[in-house]
Structures are given as C-alpha cells and as structure tokens.
Amino acid sequence: MTARAGRGRARAWAELLRVSALFSVPGDALAGAAAAGARPGRGTLYAIGASLCLYEAGMALNDWADRAEDAAERPHRPLPSGRITPGSALAASAALTTAGLALASRAGRPSLAVATALATTVWAYDLGLKHTPAGPATMATARALDLLLGATASSPAFPLLTGPSGCGSTASGARAGASGSGSRPIAHPHTAHPHTALPHAVRALPSAVLLGAHTYAVTAVSRHETQGGSTRTPLAALAVTLAVAGVAGVAGVAGVAGVAGVPGAVPGSRSGGAGGRRTGAGDVPGSSGGPAPRPRPALPTHRTRPPRPSRGLGPLLALAYARTPATLLLHAALNPSAALTERAVGGGIRATIPLQATLAARAGAPGTALALLALVPAARALARKVSPT
C-alpha cells in the first residue's frame, strides 16, 4: 500500500468514526465525576476509555445500518463510496463495543452494568429506533447513561464512614463497629464499591437529565439535516438550549446531601447508622460496665471532596454553551435548508463541551470545567477537516 493510499484509508476511517466529535465524549465522564462529588481518578479514566469506544462503535454501526440510505443521499460517505466495506464497519463496531465493556469492567461491577445499558441503547438506536419517534429520546438516554458511567466509575472504593466509631455508612461497617473487631471494608483501591456507586449515581441524575435534554434537541434537528424543510424543530431546539443553560447556570450542587455514603453527610448524625449513636459499655462484648473504648477516627474517603459550587464561573459557561448553537439554530429556522440544518447539528454537538464544563462548575469542580473548555478550539479546528455529523 502506498503512502497516499494509506492516508486515504486513514481519512476514510476518520470520516466513518467522526473523530472530530470525539472531543465531546470525555466530558461526560468528567462531568459525572464532578456531579457525584468525586475527584477524577483511575476509574474515571476507564470510564472515558469505555465512552470513547462505545461512541465510536455507535458511529461505525450507524453508517453500516444506513448504508442504503446514504447511497442515495450521501454517496460521498466511506461505505457507499466503497472506501470501507460494510463488513469492516460492522466488525469494527463489535470490536469497539467489546473493548468498551472490558474497560468499564475494570472500574467495577456498577460501571460495567451502566456500560452494558449504554451499549444496548446504542445498538438499539442504530439498528431500529433511529428512524422512529423514539429516536431522540433513545439518543438522549445514551448520553445520560454516559455521564452516569463516569459517576459510578469515579465513586470511592470505600464507603464514606461517619461517626465516632468510623462506621455507619454500610451494614458491614455497622456490624464491624458494634462488634469492636476493627475490620475495614475490603475493596480494590481503584474500583467503585457497590454501596457507594448507587448514591453517587443518584446524585449525578440532575446533570444527566440536563445533558440528555440537550442531546434530545440536537438529535431532533439532525433528523432533517439531509433534506431540511423544518422551521419548528430548530426553534424548539433553541428553546431547549436556553432552558438548559438557565438551569445549568444556577450555582448549586446537584444531588442528595446528608445521605450516608455521600460526601456532605454529617458526622455523628442519625443517618450514619451505628456510627451515629453513642457507644455504650453494653455494645462491646465482654465489657463489665467500664468506660467505652476510645473511638477510632473515621477512615479517610477515597478521592472525594466536599462540593463547592462555582458561583461566578457557572453562569459564564452557561452563556458560552447557549451561544454556541443559538445563532446556527436561528439561521436554520429562518432558512431551513439542508446545509444550514447540518451546520446547526454540528454546532449542537460542539456545544456539548461547554455544557459539560457548565455542569462541572455547577457541581463545584472549576478546574475540571476549565480543562473541558480548553477542548473547544481543538474540536472546532478538527471539525473543519472532518465533519462531526
């Protein structure tokens, strides 16, 4: 194979996999970690890798499923043009799905469960639901699950232990404190503990809903990008964008505070279970009414931090998010041509990044928010070479 042929084949795969849209993927896991109140760690990296693989699997499967339609409407695409065979695209999708699930499994069983649901949603969308009324909702569900994948993968390995005896978040911790055995929960230091993954996922739900609403709007517009002709859909997407920006820009912490096992629980409170009550002599086997044993300090949490809302940064990022697709959506509404509609869809995809940054800032992770915002210029530059749609 000559160098020119190799470059042509590489470009064909770049077009098939929509590599310019990949910059919109890592922010799902990072925003999920921020919403869960966890610092990014190794589990977050596994979630990002899984997300990238599953996203690319969806891109390849999408073109494989739409190859007959693209032959009539987009003959320049890699499959109808013959630059990539349908069998290669399908095999790549299967391999990427397997790799994504394998990476998610390294972050723990809760993350694998979420990744499995995500992969199922992606395949269901591409193979049947894309051209049905349920298409936008299915794609929105996929994005929301991707954020929840980051939340579960970034959860602490050990439950948050509160109270004077250093236990109370879990039933096992309560039993250990009551028996005086001093045993600690055993978990892999880089995987999410099942008892902490669920409350962290619940805490990330508001951010997942906002990201899903944005994705729903973009997907609804994309259904008209080959033929245009819709004025109402871009206007509705613009309204959704402004609503999401308004909600996401409000400084605050999404989630549930004061729940055992979630950062923000009050030490010694009744929600701490056994650790939230006084330890009497009768609680220690073999005691004879003497003084209670000296309480041990609580175990340190793993990669957790108290959330600190970024009150000034969030509204600015929300404005940047709304500004990215607003003008393009308005143009598509005033002149509903296929070209302007496609540009609006591309702007909506790029707007995912400032939205993720807004959600991170809203959850109290300004560093993550600014790091995500730095991806916008690269995404815009690459989109000029490879279309994200």
Question: Is residue 360 scored above 80 in pLDDT?
Answer: yes
Res. 383 pLDDT band, cuts 50 70 90: confident
Using one digit for the tens of pLDDT, what is the confidence trace for 166-181? 333 444 444 444 444 4
Closest to 302 measured CA to CA, from 156, 116, 101, 144: 156
Between 281 and 205, the higher pLDDT residue: 205
User: What's the domain range around 213?
Assistant: 10-175+189-277+306-383
Res. 195 pLDDT band, cuts 50 70 90: low
Question: Is residue 182 scored above 60 in pLDDT?
Answer: no
Percent of the chain residues past pLDDT 90, beyond the cut: 60
Instruction: Give the contacts of 291 (CB within 8 A, at least 6 positions apart).
Output: 281
Give CA–CA dist 64/54, Å, rounded.
15
Between 260 and 252, the higher pLDDT residue: 252
What confidence score (pLDDT) does residue 81 get?
94
In a domain, 72, yes or no: yes
Question: Is residue 349 scored above 70 in pLDDT?
Answer: yes
In a domain, 301, yes or no: no
Query: Which token pair is 279?
Result: 């330890």
Give CA–CA dist 175/187, Å, rounded.
17
In a domain, 388, yes or no: no
Residue 236: strand, helix, or coil? helix
What confidence score (pLDDT) does residue 388 get?
84
- CB of 318 within 8 A of CB of 374? no
What confidence score (pLDDT) does residue 250 get?
80
Res. 230 pLDDT band, cuts 50 70 90: confident
- CB of 155 within 8 A of CB of 42? no
**DSSP track, 217-283:** HHHHHHTTTTT---SHHHHHHHHHHHHHHHHHTS----S-SS-TTSTTPPTTSGGGGGGGS---GGG
CATH of the domain at 223: 1.10.357.140
In a domain, 4, yes or no: no
What confidence score (pLDDT) does residue 295 get?
54
Tokens 């600190």: give the residue. 308
Residues in a beta bridge with 304: 38
Question: Is residue 254 scored above 60 in pLDDT?
Answer: no
Instruction: Give the contacts of 329 (CB within 8 A, at least 6 positions apart).
Output: 221, 234, 235, 237, 238, 241, 344, 347, 348
The winner for highest mean pLDDT among 119-123, 254-258, 372-376 is 119-123
**DSSP track, 272-338:** GGGGGS---GGGSTT--S-PPPPPPPPPPPSSB------TTHHHHHHHHHHHHHHHHHHHHHHS--H
pTM of the model: 0.77
Query: Which token pair is 156?
Result: 């602490």
In a domain, 296, yes or no: no
What confidence score (pLDDT) does residue 251 get?
56
Res. 284 pLDDT band, cuts 50 70 90: very low
Question: Is residue 134 scored above 90 in pLDDT?
Answer: yes
Query: Which token pair is 93?
Result: 């999708």
Give CA–CA dist 266/169, Å, rounded.
11
Q: Average the pLDDT over each of 4-13, 71-80, 366-375 and give the range with the smallest value.
A: 4-13
Question: Is residue 371 scored above 90 in pLDDT?
Answer: yes
Tokens 């005086």: give the residue. 180
In a domain, 294, yes or no: no
What confidence score (pLDDT) does residue 83 get?
95
Question: Computed from CA positions of residues 39, 162, 149, 144, in that sequence, does the dihedral angle turn out positive or negative?
Answer: negative
What confidence score (pLDDT) does residue 248 get?
93
* 346, 350, 355, 361: CA torsion to nearest 10: -170
What's the structural domain count of the chain?
1
Residues in a beta bridge with 38: 304
What confidence score (pLDDT) does residue 264 get?
40
- CB of 49 within 8 A of CB of 150? no
Supply the mean pLDDT for the chain.
80
In a domain, 389, yes or no: no
Question: Is residue 92 scored above 60 in pLDDT?
Answer: yes
- CB of 304 within 8 A of CB of 39? yes
Res. 93 pLDDT band, cuts 50 70 90: very high
Give CA–CA dist 229/12, Å, rounded.
29
Question: Is residue 50 scored above 90 in pLDDT?
Answer: yes
